[in-house]
């Protein structure tokens, strides 16, 4: 019995100490010349299936957080512009899936015994396509991150880990553009900043 407890504690310790699971992908087939606008941020089919459970306002909240993270990262990279600008490359984003760290308002309402202090492993999976002003594809991006342990979630807000994934995704896009800028300084051509 003690051996079993020791083995379980070693296994659980290894799992809890493991780094967060993250997958990222960035592939630019062509250089994105000029500024980038955040076009559409949509909710993917997998997350749409969870809309009734999470509540529709939660999906709106996720879209707003994703847009904000992208705008901030693109501004920091000196590549952001408003949509509708004729020289703008467009980033089309899909939030494929997201898991909250704590129950949403809708979940708390639907399940009276559920506590707002309940914890779960949160995170998100996001994909995007960047197009040039003519609508031709420039590249694709994907990012997925999920916290590996509840220890990291105990101080998180409802969507804390999903927002963390959004910030990392936005930085991935911005870093890819900055890498292009370093390789080809003319890529910033048309940059209003």
Q: Residue 100's pLDDT is what? A: 94
Q: Tell me the average pLDDT across 87-98.
A: 96
Q: Residue 3's pLDDT is what? A: 34
Nearest of 108, 176, 153, 143 to residue 25 by alpha carbon:
143
Predicted structure pTM score: 0.81
Instruction: Tell me the percentage of the chain whose pLDDT exceeds 90.
Output: 54
CB-side neighbour CA atoms (13 Å) of 106: 11
Q: Of 28 and 88, which is predicted with more confidence?
A: 88
For residue 41, what are the β-bridge partners?
Answer: 93
Helices (H), the chain: 2-17, 45-48, 51-54, 56-76, 105-110, 160-183
Average pLDDT of the residues of the chain: 83
What is d(CA 111, CA 123) in angstroms, rounded to the nearest whole number? Answer: 22
Of the listed ranges 13-17, 31-35, 141-145, the least confidently predicted one is 13-17
For the chain, which domains are there?
19-184 (3.30.160)
pLDDT (tens digit, 9 = 90+) per residue, 79-88?
999 988 889 9
For residue 2, what are the β-bridge partners?
Answer: none
């Amino acid at each position: 019995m003690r051996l079993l407890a020791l083995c379980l504690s070693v296994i659980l310790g290894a799992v809890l100490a493991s780094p967060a699971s993250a997958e990222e992908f960035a592939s630019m087939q062509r250089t994105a010349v000029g500024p980038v606008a955040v076009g559409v941020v949509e909710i993917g089919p997998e997350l749409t299936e969870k809309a009734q459970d999470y509540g529709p306002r939660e999906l709106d909240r996720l879209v707003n957080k994703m847009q904000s993270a992208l705008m901030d990262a693109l501004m920091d990279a000196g590549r952001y512009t408003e949509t509708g600008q004729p020289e703008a490359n467009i980033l089309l984003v899909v939030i494929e899936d997201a898991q909250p760290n704590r129950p949403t308002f809708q979940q708390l309402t639907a399940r009276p015994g559920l506590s707002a202090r309940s914890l779960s492993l949160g995170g998100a999976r996001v994909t995007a396509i960047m197009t040039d002003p003519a609508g031709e594809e420039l590249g694709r991006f994907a990012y997925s991150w999920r916290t590996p342990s509840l220890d990291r979630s105990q101080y998180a807000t409802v969507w804390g880990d999903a927002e963390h994934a959004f910030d990392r995704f936005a930085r991935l896009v911005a870093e890819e553009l900055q890498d292009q800028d370093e390789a080809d300084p003319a890529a910033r051509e048309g940059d209003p900043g």
